[in-house]
Structure 1
Amino acid sequence: MVKKRVLVVGGTGYLGQHLLQGFSEIQGDPFDLAFTYHSNLPQALLDAFPYLLAFHVDLKTGQGFEAISQTFGQPDVVVNCAALSAPRACEMDPSAATSINVPSSLVTWLSNFKETSTLLIQLSTDQVYEGVKSFYKEEDETVPVNVYGESKVAAEKYVSEKCLNFAILRSSIIFGPQTISPVPKSLPIQWIDGVLSKGEKMEFFHDEFRCPVYVKDVVTIIQVLTSRWMSDAKQMQLLLNVGGPDRVSRLQMAEAVAHIRGYDTSLIKPVSASLVDRGVKSPSDISMNIDKLVQTLNISPISFIDGVRLTLTTEAKS
């Protein structure tokens, strides 16, 4: 049996590493796996999964894709996790945000292959929404309030216009255990845990709402899309909100960590997001309705509190 090929673009990032691990652990080893990286290649990742093929790719120029064609061939599924995702960094360098977040070089490369054979799974964001109401649906208007959101809306438009087969996943904050090769950015639950464990008072926004999603649920969603694409051989053009079932503020996120860990909740001080200048505008309520996700893929993401519990117990063991 010829193995199907899965390429993870941005495989050294947080979701990318969890995806590579998730696909590697599937019984029967049905996939050939490859990933791209941009700056550094983490040795710990290669040590853990020595059969992974790694390719250095510059998404701005497209340099490196040709090597994938020659060594790996046409992928059946490409998951694009690569992004300039720090809103402030995007605000300071809009042209970099556009050139990295709109996957023009990736889509151009894919257009060299038989178009009907590759599914592109494009990671987007809840920040495409304006943030003026609760539980946005996929068909709601996208009115981003910052450059990061704008670049992701442009990416969605580009993919849906240029690709025959795609699934665009508008993800909320992705949280969960650290990756095999630890990522440099701070992870939300681990950061909250670290602050509260010191017994210091800390302010958290009480009026900024998200639907954080557990990382292993995102991996499962991508695996289900992949297997559906492999088995159905039908055209796929999907747009899905990918969030957890709970609408929570940063304050409630901190309270959940304190509750599980047994920290003193009086250390957690509510503050309004409107009083803090972060150098970038942040939407206040971009909670998402995930009915379409649940109905289309028959997946129900776990609750926020359960995800936090799993995150903290995994961290304790590692």
Structure 2
Amino acid sequence: MSNKKKLLIIGGTGYLGQHLLQSFSESRKPLDLSIAFTHHSSPPPQLLLRSLPNATAFQVDLQTGQGFDSITHTFGQPDVVINCAALSIPRVCETNPSVAMSVNIPSSLVTWLSSFTESNTLLIHLSTDQVYEGTKSFYKEDNETFPVNVYGKSKVAAEEYISTNWSNFVILRSSIIFGPQTISPVTKSLPIQWMDSVLGKGQETEFFHDEYRCPVYVKDVVNIIQILTDRCFSDGKKMGLILNVGGPDRLSRVQMAETVARVRGYNTSLIKPVSASSIDRGVKSPSDISMDISKMIQTLDFKPTCFEDGVKLTIDSMT
């Protein structure tokens, strides 16, 4: 009987999903780990498929659950599922609340996992710092969740659904994720690359000075998930954890841009501080959702990358 473990990444063609696929494929021998991923678009990027020949792709619709049966028949029950799929643009969620709820609450995924005789799969679910209201600094995991927009509300509902309906889970409340581009470039704007682009062209650009986040380096998120996966593979104990996943620095967009300018040698006078309240983005945004990450550091014995070092690593990947 094979001891080969099975890992499934939901939303494997997205930004974090591709970084996870690449890391797990490079760090594990194919004999030790079977890797599969889902995509909603059809077909997945050829560049990604060519780069990861040992990963199996499945088309799945999270709203209907269509496609999960194919995974059952072809791949079987995964030992670990990492759910990266989400409708994550707050403005889009605000205009399509029913779609946001149906995609972001993983009811079809949990229903599928429940179809297996042994309900021991570890579900690692990506949530967001936007579950917090944003009226103070350094939120802890046990602080009340009080989101100010539909995106945050859909993520709180997802957390509640998982914790009620699945016993073996880790919920990761992630801040802004930044880092290098993916194997198959994603279409969404990446924060450091965008800042580098506008400042590198000498364009005066407005940045918010009064919204605070704890941006986290993408490879830190990958490493955190690998630590959790290894724990599951080694001892199989059920977890039931909620962790803030942010970087060690509480920063405004102005401070982020100033760091990029400093690393690249750009003129910081191009950075024009403005208040977040001065611009209508079509959705309410929390002011300060910086997070206390001490529980993550202690639980996982993990030291996150500071923002400036993450920026340097990101810039290095672009040259």
Asked if Structure 1 and Structure 2 have the same fold, meaning a TM-score greater than 0.5 normalized by the shorter chain, the answer is: yes
Q: Could you tell me which residue of structure 1 aligns to residue 182 of structure 2?
A: 179
Q: Could you tell me which residue of structure 1 aligns to residue 198 of structure 2?
A: 195
Total equivalences in the alignment: 316
**CA deviations over 1:106-129 (Å, ceiling 9, x no partner):** 000000013442000000000000
CA offset at residue 230 of structure 1? 1.1
* TM-score normalised to structure 1 length: 0.98
2:133 and 2:117 map into 1 onto residues whose CA distance is 37
1:36 and 1:281 map into 2 onto residues whose CA distance is 31
CA 1:311–1:227: 2 relative to 1, 3 Å:
same
| Contiguous gaps of at least 5 residues in structure 1 | none
Look up the equivalent residue of 2:9 and give its one-letter code.
V
Identity of aligned residues (%): 69
* TM-score normalised to structure 2 length: 0.98
Look up the equivalent residue of 1:219 and give its one-letter code.
V
Q: Root-mean-square deviation (CA), in Å?
A: 0.8
Q: Is the 2:113–2:119 Cα contact (8 Å) retained in structure 1? A: no
Q: Could you tell me which residue of structure 2 aligns to residue 17 of structure 1?
A: 18
Partner SS, residue 27 of structure 2: coil
Match of 1:306 among 295, 309, 313: 309
CA offset at residue 223 of structure 1? 0.5
Partner SS, residue 123 of structure 2: strand
Partner SS, residue 240 of structure 1: strand
**CA deviations over 1:174-221 (Å, ceiling 9, x no partner):** 000000000010000000000001101011000000000000000000
**CA deviations over 1:97-155 (Å, ceiling 9, x no partner):** 00000000000000001344200000000000000000000000000000000000000
Partner SS, residue 159 of structure 2: helix
Q: Any residues of structure 2 matched to 1:33-72 within 5 Å, and which?
A: 33-40=35-42, 41-72=44-75
Partner SS, residue 9 of structure 2: strand
Q: Could you tell me which residue of structure 1 aligns to residue 209 of structure 2?
A: 206
State yes or no: 1:237 paired with 2:240: yes
Q: Could you tell me which residue of structure 1 aligns to residue 7 of structure 2?
A: 6
Q: Is the 1:11–1:36 Cα contact (8 Å) retained in structure 2? A: yes
Q: Which runs of 4+ in 1 moved over 2 A?
A: 27-30, 114-117
Q: Is the 1:8–1:80 Cα contact (8 Å) retained in structure 2? A: yes
| Contiguous gaps of at least 5 residues in structure 2 | none
Match of 2:172 among 169, 175, 181: 169
1:120 and 1:114 map into 2 onto residues whose CA distance is 16
Look up the equivalent residue of 2:16 and give its one-letter code.
L
